[in-house]
Amino acid sequence: MRLTFSVVTLIYLSWDFQECFTASVTNKTVTSDIYRPQGPLVMCNFLPKEFIECAEPVDHNGNKTAKDELGYGCVKFGGSRYEDVEQTKVSCEVLENIECYGDRKFFREGVPCIKYSGHYFTTTLLYSILLGFLGMDRFCLGQTGTAVGKLLTLGGVGVWWVVDVILLVTNSLQPEDGSNWSPYV
């Protein structure tokens, strides 16, 4: 088996070799005049979330004007369906010992406005079925006013108890703070 090199291959190899030595290293990011998609480095903003650290979405607490002025952030968090969830951009930075091409600080688009605060659907549903007549489900969701009313009336003599189970199953009863149901990991 013979190895033959054409003139074009030799020129490309010498250019590639020269580029390796003319590249400068700044802040652990290799930069050169041009980006080569066939090269070993990936663009920093293309890295998966395991290699970057992103800030939490900015919470504007329902103030749409503040969001318009800043250009990003969340007016509201959560939603029971995917279409209801707002999306925003957040500031991200590449982790320390990760080499990539381009700026190490950038904005990542399409981050969902979701926050979790430890409310689990299955746990709340079990509380509602087993101890719903005492208002335990409403206490867990942070709705203390209605929970006390449910406790004093023993679940509205059973009617409120059944209605709350149906509301939970149809996803009409949500945590008071507007957070999403936490996924089991």
What are the pLDDT digits (tens) for 17-36? 444 433 444 444 455 568 88
Strands 52-54 and 87-94: antiparallel
* 42 shares its domain with 96: yes
Is the predicted pLDDT of residue 79 greater than 90, yes or no? no
What's the distance, CA 97 to chain centroid? 23
Distance of CA 40 to the CA centre of its chain: 28
Angle between helices 144-152 and 159-169 (to 10 degrees): 140
Residue 147 lies in a domain: yes
Q: How far apart are CA 48 and CA 94, in angstroms?
A: 10
Is 106 in the same domain as 125? Answer: no
Shared domain for 131 and 46, answered yes or no, is no
106 and 127 belong to one structural domain: no
Note whether 71 and 152 are same-domain residues: no
Q: In this predicted structure, what is the pLDDT of residue 32?
A: 55
Pairwise CA distance, residues 148 & 143, whole Å: 9
**For the segment 116-138, what is each residue's pLDDT rounded down to a tens digit?**
888 899 999 999 999 999 999 99
Structure tokens at 38: 């066939």
Q: Are residues 51 and 85 in the same domain?
A: yes
Check residues 144 and 181 and name the one with the higher pLDDT: 144
The last residue of one of the domains, among 92, 112, 132, is 112
For residue 175, is it within any domain?
no
Question: Does one domain contain both 105 and 21?
Answer: yes
The overall pTM is greater than 0.85: no
Q: How far apart are CA 126 and CA 106, in angstroms?
A: 43
92 lies in some domain: yes
Residue 48 lies in domain: 9-112
Centroid of chain to Cα 132: 32
pLDDT the model gives residue 61: 85
- 94 and 143 within one domain: no
